[in-house]
Each structure stands twice: as structure tokens, then as C-alpha cells.
């Protein structure tokens, strides 16, 4: 062995560990949580909007009155009561019994993240290719990386994933002899862009994947958080076969409970349960009871309306601040729901290089590089509007705009530093062809 390392176990790790890297978002949490920093970085829901006194009483009763069952082991698939409640929640979006949604085909997971990991464990071998929007959810990239798969990004515009680019990428990979397993997509209020796949494109994307024999993994954490009328029906409401529907209660109730689910094709359900049991034995009985009781005894539909109003106000505050304060040449998306705005910087600015100066100015965001498997996207950033109140959002944008103005002034004096290799097309702009990372 040559050289030195701070990790005495480097030579003992499994091969799949070698490519693991820290999440751009997780690395920011320690800084962004400081009270003097305006954090536009995370994706935390505004939990204070919940009726916390009533929720606290409910949680207490689950322990004191029902602890014999809620604190005990359970079954790997999740409780029937919760799976039935989950079907009620999905029915609001059009995923109902008429399109094959059944408690028997629901698997309860530890948040949406475990749902992603289970799908990857079942379907991905080292070297397989996953198709995903570019940019895409950073947590999904971590799962696919851990599975030793590669990600081919499909570009987006203001109407979401571009079907022609999807079709071309599938054809290119087939000619290269690459094995593509599935399309991973967040079609509604996408993370990180906030963009929604249009009604017309949803059918085209499903047709393309069906012709190519590809599974579709639909991630839908934000679909019930729309501000501008009803969202288009989920992909799973349109096609039963070959579509896995993943969601979570982290954005609509409580992320700390870590409860999500998969609605899977019936033939796959048992394998998902076996894989989940190998990981966690069973999901938390207490957390499941908390969610099921909340859905069964509290006005959760009304609570969704409260969240929508809170987030609409904060979205508008961010959009107004961006329009008033951002330097010329900055562009951004206008989300119709969800938690995020995706901003593109003026030519020459690098969001990752700028981050230390932003933190020094007491504002945090997530650099766009974290949402691409190949580390490009340096000219972009994700801004969250769900957690800070409107006045803090405006102050955060003011601080961020000041940092950007300083960066622009420095470039005028000293010239460009580095190249533009990290630039890539993004939602709402002209985009180049997809890349394999």
C-alpha cells in the first residue's frame, strides 16, 4: 500500500462503497441550521402549520393507551389499517380501485427514501443504466450510485421531461449495448426544479417506456401540494402495469415519523416485502399507528389546504423577491406547487464556488451540481421556500443577490476564472442532448 489515508478501513470496504460521496444538501445542514443564516437550502415542510397540540395528544395516547401494540414488532408489509388509509390518500389523486390500487399491493416503507432503495435493490445490477430527469432528486442519485448503476439524464424544459430526448437516449443506449432498467421521474412539482410534466407529455412518456420495455418509477412526494388548481393525474393513475408509485407522508404530515410507501405491480409485492424485511425487519409500529390515526381522526384534507395556502404565499414571496432583487441575467422557474424554485445564474457564475461566500453573508442554498450524476450544473441552484417565513425569504434573496453582485463585479475586474464546462441546460431553457454519467 502506498500513500496515507485517514481511514484505516479503506482496503476492506466493498466495491460498492468506493463511489459513495456525501450529499450536497446534508453537508449544508450544520451551517444552514444556525439561526443567523437564512436557509433557502433544505426541503423541510413547515411543521408549525400542523395542529401540534392535537397531534401531541394523539401521540401520547398511542403510547399510553395502545403501547402494547404500537411499541411491538409488526409485519414487513406494514399494517393493514395504514395500507387502507394510504389507498384513501392515493384516491384523491385518481389512483383508486378502478385502476388497480389495493391495500394488498401497498408496501409501507421508512420514508420515500427506503422505497427508492428497495426498487433499486430489486432491479439494478452493477453497470445498469437508470434514466432520470436532469436535474433530479439528489437522494435518488445516492441510491443509484450505491447500487453501482449509471444515470443517463434526460433534459427538461418548462413542460417537464422532453419525450423526444427520452426516445433518442433509449435508442442511443440500445445501440451501445447498454442495459436500461427503468425511468425514474418526479413528474409533478419536481425536485429540484418545481416543473410539472404536462398532460400531453405524460401519455407520450408512458408510451415510449412501454414500447421500450422499460419500467417507470414515479416518485410523487409533492403531488397534493399544488397552488394553481388540480395537478395532472399521476402516471400510475393512467397505467397499471410496469409503473411503481412511490410517495411519503414527510411533506404532508411529519417527516420525523419516516413513513412512506410503494404501490407496486402485484407480482413484485412479495419481493419488495422480503427485501424490506432483510433491511429493517418491519417498519415502526408506532409511526404507522401515528399516521393511520392522524388520517382516521383528524381533518387531514383541510390540513392539505392549509399547507397549500402557506406555501403559495411563500412561493409568491420568493418569486417577488427574485424579480425585484436578482442581478440581470438570472432566470428561474415558476412552480405551480411543491417546495422549490430552480434558478439559473448569469453567465460566468459558479454556484458551488460561490457557496462559501454566501454562507459568510448568512444565506444558504443548494448548488445545482448536487442534482446531476456527473457534477455539472454549476450555473444553477435550488432555492427552498417552504420553511422560512415570507420576510425571511426576501431577506435571504437580498443577501444572495448581494453575493452574486459581488461575484459579477469581481469578474469584471479580474476576468473569468475557469471555464464553463459545468454549464448544462435546465428546465425552462434550451437544452443540449442527454449525457450518461
DSSP 2-25: -S--S-TTGGGS-GGGTT----HH
Kindly report, residue by residue over 373-382, the tens digit of the pLDDT: 998 999 999 9
pLDDT value of position 430? 37
Q: Strands, E, within 158-258: which ranges? A: 160-161, 180-185, 215-219, 243-248
Higher pLDDT, 26 or 169: 169
Is the pLDDT score of 1 beyond 50? Answer: no
pLDDT value of position 413? 84
Is the pLDDT score of 180 beyond 70? Answer: yes
Q: Could you tell me whether strands 331-332 and 160-161 are parallel, antiparallel, or unpaired per DSSP bridges?
A: unpaired
Q: Over the chain, what is the mean pLDDT?
A: 91
CB 176 within 8 Å of CB 150: no
**How does residue 420 score in pLDDT terms, banded at 50, 70 and 90?**
very low
Instruction: Record the cell numbers describing residue 313, joined without a space.
Output: 404565499
For residue 201, which phi and psi values (nearest 5 degrees)?
-70, -25
Kindly report, residue by residue over 47-80, the tens digit of the pLDDT: 999 999 999 999 999 999 999 999 999 999 999 9
Q: Any idea what the Cα angle at residue 132 is, between residues 227 and 343, rounded to 5°?
A: 50
Closest of 84, 192, 97, 175 to residue 138, by C-alpha: 192
pLDDT value of position 21? 65
pLDDT value of position 24? 58
DSSP 197-222: --HHHHHHHHHHHHHHT-EEEEE-SS
Element (H, E) at 38: strand 38-39
Query: What count of other Cβ atoms lies within 10 Å of the Cβ of residue 437?
Result: 17
Instruction: Record the cell numbers describing residue 354, joined without a space.
Output: 460561490
Instruction: Record the cell numbers describing residue 266, joined without a space.
Output: 402485484
Distance of CA 354 to the CA centre of its chain: 24
Kindly report, residue by residue over 23-41, the tens digit of the pLDDT: 655 656 666 667 789 999 9
**How does residue 412 score in pLDDT terms, banded at 50, 70 and 90?**
confident
Amino acid at each position: 500500500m502506498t500513500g496515507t489515508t485517514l481511514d484505516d478501513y479503506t482496503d476492506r470496504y466493498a466495491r460498492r462503497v468506493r463511489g459513495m460521496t456525501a450529499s450536497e444538501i446534508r453537508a449544508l445542514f450544520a451551517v444552514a441550521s444556525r439561526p443567523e443564516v437564512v436557509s433557502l437550502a433544505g426541503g423541510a415542510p413547515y411543521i408549525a402549520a400542523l395542529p401540534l397540540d392535537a397531534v401531541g395528544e394523539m401521540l401520547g395516547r398511542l403510547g399510553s393507551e395502545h403501547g402494547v401494540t404500537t411499541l411491538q414488532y409488526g409485519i414487513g408489509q406494514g399494517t393493514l389499517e395504514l395500507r387502507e388509509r394510504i389507498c384513501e390518500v392515493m384516491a384523491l389523486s385518481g389512483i383508486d380501485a378502478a385502476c388497480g390500487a389495493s391495500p394488498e399491493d401497498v408496501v409501507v416503507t421508512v420514508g420515500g427514501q427506503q422505497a427508492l432503495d428497495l426498487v433499486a435493490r430489486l432491479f439494478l445490477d452493477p453497470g445498469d443504466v437508470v434514466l432520470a430527469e436532469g436535474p433530479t432528486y439528489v437522494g435518488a442519485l445516492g441510491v443509484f450510485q450505491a447500487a453501482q448503476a449509471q444515470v443517463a439524464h434526460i433534459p427538461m424544459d418548462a413542460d417537464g421531461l422532453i419525450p423526444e430526448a427520452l426516445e433518442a437516449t433509449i435508442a442511443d443506449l440500445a445501440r451501445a449495448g447498454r442495459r436500461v432498467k427503468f425511468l425514474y421521474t418526479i413528474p409533478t412539482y419536481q425536485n429540484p426544479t418545481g416543473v410539472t410534466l404536462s398532460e400531453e407529455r405524460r401519455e407520450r412518456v408512458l408510451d415510449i417506456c412501454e414500447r421500450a420495455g422499460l419500467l417507470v418509477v414515479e416518485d410523487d412526494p409533492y403531488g397534493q401540494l399544488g397552488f394553481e388548481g388540480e395537478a395532472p393525474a399521476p402516471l400510475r393513475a393512467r397505467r397499471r402495469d410496469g409503473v411503481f408509485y412511490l410517495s411519503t407522508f414527510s411533506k404532508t404530515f411529519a417527516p420525523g415519523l419516516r413513513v412512506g410507501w410503494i404501490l407496486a405491480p402485484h407480482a413484485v409485492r412479495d419481493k419488495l416485502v422480503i427485501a424490506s424485511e432483510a433491511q429493517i425487519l418491519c417498519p415502526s409500529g408506532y409511526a404507522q399507528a401515528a399516521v393511520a390515526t392522524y388520517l382516521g381522526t383528524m381533518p387531514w384534507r383541510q390540513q392539505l389546504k392549509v399547507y397549500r395556502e402557506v406555501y403559495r404565499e411563500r412561493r409568491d414571496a420568493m418569486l417577488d423577491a427574485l424579480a425585484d432583487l436578482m442581478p440581470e441575467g438570472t432566470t428561474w422557474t415558476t412552480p405551480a406547487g411543491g417546495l422549490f424554485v430552480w434558478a439559473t445564474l448569469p453567465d460566468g457564475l459558479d454556484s458551488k464556488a460561490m457557496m462559501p461566500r454566501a454562507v459568510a453573508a448568512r444565506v444558504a442554498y443548494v448548488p445545482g451540481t448536487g442534482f446531476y450524476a456527473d457534477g455539472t450544473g454549476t450555473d444553477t441552484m435550488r432555492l427552498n421556500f417552504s420553511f422560512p417565513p415570507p420576510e425571511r425569504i426576501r431577506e435571504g434573496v437580498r443577501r444572495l443577490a448581494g453575493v452574486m453582485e459581488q461575484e459579477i463585479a469581481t469578474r469584471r475586474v479580474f476576468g473569468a476564472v475557469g471555464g464553463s464546462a459545468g454549464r448544462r441546460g435546465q428546465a425552462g431553457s434550451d437544452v443540449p442532448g442527454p449525457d450518461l454519467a
